[in-house]
Amino acid sequence: MGLEGRIAIVTGSSQGIGKAIAETLALRGAALVFADINVELALATAKEISSNTGQKTIAVHVDVSNFESAKIMVEKTIDEFGRLDILVNNAGVTRDNLIMRISEEDWDIVLNTNLKGAFNCSKAAIRPMMKQRYGRIINISSVSGLAGQAGQTNYSASKAGLIGFTKALAREVASRNITVNAVAPGFVPTALTANLPEELKEWMLKLTPLGRMGKPEEIAYAVAFFASDESAYTTGQVLSVDGGMMMM
C-alpha cells in the first residue's frame, strides 16, 4: 500500500490515533501536513516523524470548527506541496455526561469539532481534489456512532453523523475519482479515553471478543488501506476496527 508522492493532511495529528495515522502514511511514502489546534505540539510531532521516516512534513494550525481556518489549512498545503491527495478527518473531542447534565455549550463543542469539522475540512479539500480528479477522504468515526453509548449522546451523535456524511459525500464525488470512507475504532487507549470510569473500561473489554484494547497503529493500518490505490474500488464504507465488538 505504497503512497509515494502523495500529499496527506491529518487533522488532530499531534498525538494519539492521529499521530499513528500520520506516521503510518509517512512510512508508506506520503508527505504529511500535521494540522492541529495546538500548533506547537503539531510542530514537534512533525519534526519527530520527519526524522523517523525521512518524509517532508509541515505543521499547520487549524480550528476545524471554523471553515475559514480549514480553508487556510488547505491553501497552505497547496502552496507548499502543489496538490492534496489524502484528507484524514481525525480531529475530535469528548464532553461526556448524562444528557440531563450536558450543557448546550458541551453539545455544540463536540458536534462542531467532530462533525462540522469534517464538513469544513472536506469542503475545503474537495475543490483541488476535483480539479486533479483524484482524492481520498477518510473520516474517523467510532463504535459509539454505530451502537451509541450511555453518557455520550453528543459524541455518539457526532460519530453517527460522520457515517451518514461519509456515505452521502461518497456518492457526490465518485465520478471525479474521489473515494470517501470511514474507520470506526473500538476501545483504544488515548487522551480521549483516559478519563473513562474503570467500570466502563472493564465493561467495554467484556464486549470485545479479542479481549483487549486496540492499538493506535491498528487503526492507522485501516486508514492506510483507504488512502491507497488498492482501495480504488471501495467507497462509502465503514470499517470497524474494534476487536469484534460490533460483530453482527
Catalytic sites, residue numbers = 155
Tell me the three state secondary structure of residue 208: coil
List strands edge to edge, sheet with 178-185.
Answer: 57-61, 31-36, 7-11, 86-89, 135-140, 178-185, 238-241
- For 189, the grid coordinates are 487507549
CA distance linking residue 238 with residue 113, whole number of Å? 20
Contact 205, 211 (CB under 8 A): yes
CA distance linking residue 147 with residue 168, whole number of Å? 20
CA distance linking residue 222 with residue 183, whole number of Å? 7
CA atoms lying within 13 Å on the CB side of residue 76: 18
With a CB cutoff of 8 Å and minimum separation 6, the contacts of 161 are 111, 114, 115, 145
Long-range Cβ contacts of 54-58 (<8 Å, 24+ apart) = 55/26, 55/29, 55/30, 55/31, 56/31, 56/32, 56/81, 57/22, 57/26, 57/31, 57/32, 57/33, 58/32, 58/33, 58/34
